[in-house]
Protein backbone atom coordinates (compact mmCIF):
# COMPACT_ATOMS: atom_id res chain seq x y z
CA UNK A 1 0.00 0.00 0.00
CA UNK A 2 1.27 3.43 -0.95
CA UNK A 3 1.06 6.14 1.73
CA UNK A 4 -0.82 9.30 0.79
CA UNK A 5 1.36 12.26 -0.19
CA UNK A 6 0.26 14.26 2.87
CA UNK A 7 1.43 11.49 5.17
CA UNK A 8 4.82 11.30 3.46
CA UNK A 9 5.19 15.08 3.69
CA UNK A 10 4.32 15.02 7.41
CA UNK A 11 6.82 12.23 8.07
CA UNK A 12 9.49 14.13 6.16
CA UNK A 13 8.81 17.23 8.29
CA UNK A 14 9.04 15.21 11.51
CA UNK A 15 12.31 13.66 10.37
CA UNK A 16 13.71 17.06 9.45
CA UNK A 17 12.75 18.45 12.86
CA UNK A 18 14.38 15.52 14.67
CA UNK A 19 17.54 15.88 12.62
CA UNK A 20 17.60 19.61 13.37
CA UNK A 21 17.33 18.96 17.13
CA UNK A 22 19.98 16.23 16.97
CA UNK A 23 22.30 18.51 15.03
CA UNK A 24 21.79 21.28 17.60
CA UNK A 25 22.46 18.91 20.50
CA UNK A 26 25.64 17.48 18.94
CA UNK A 27 26.80 20.95 17.91
CA UNK A 28 26.52 22.14 21.53
CA UNK A 29 28.28 19.00 22.76
CA UNK A 30 31.16 19.58 20.34
CA UNK A 31 31.37 23.24 21.41
CA UNK A 32 31.58 22.21 25.10
CA UNK A 33 34.31 19.69 24.35
CA UNK A 34 36.27 22.26 22.35
CA UNK A 35 36.02 24.70 25.27
CA UNK A 36 37.24 21.99 27.66
CA UNK A 37 40.09 21.15 25.29
CA UNK A 38 41.12 24.82 25.11
CA UNK A 39 41.20 24.97 28.94
CA UNK A 40 43.34 21.82 29.11
CA UNK A 41 45.72 23.23 26.49
CA UNK A 42 46.07 26.46 28.51
CA UNK A 43 46.86 24.48 31.67
CA UNK A 44 49.40 22.38 29.75
CA UNK A 45 51.09 25.51 28.43
CA UNK A 46 51.25 26.98 31.95
CA UNK A 47 52.70 23.71 33.30
CA UNK A 48 55.26 23.65 30.49
CA UNK A 49 56.32 27.23 31.27
CA UNK A 50 56.60 26.36 34.98
CA UNK A 51 58.68 23.28 34.16
CA UNK A 52 60.94 25.41 31.97
CA UNK A 53 61.46 27.83 34.90
CA UNK A 54 62.23 24.94 37.27
CA UNK A 55 64.74 23.48 34.78
CA UNK A 56 66.47 26.85 34.40
CA UNK A 57 66.66 27.23 38.19
CA UNK A 58 68.09 23.73 38.64
CA UNK A 59 70.55 24.35 35.80
CA UNK A 60 71.69 27.63 37.39
CA UNK A 61 72.06 25.97 40.82
CA UNK A 62 74.03 23.12 39.26
CA UNK A 63 76.33 25.60 37.50
CA UNK A 64 76.85 27.52 40.76
CA UNK A 65 77.74 24.29 42.60
CA UNK A 66 80.15 23.15 39.90
CA UNK A 67 81.95 26.47 39.59
Distance of CA 6 to the CA centre of its chain: 42
Q: What are the pLDDT digits (tens) for 2-41?
A: 668 889 999 999 999 999 999 999 999 999 999 999 999 9
Residue 46 CB partners (closer than 8 Å, separation 6+): none
Mean pLDDT of 55-61: 96
pLDDT at residue 2, as a whole number: 66
CA 22 to the chain's CA centroid: 18
- Residue 4 DSSP label: P
Amino acid sequence: AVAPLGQVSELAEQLEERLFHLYGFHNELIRERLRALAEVMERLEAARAELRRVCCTVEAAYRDLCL
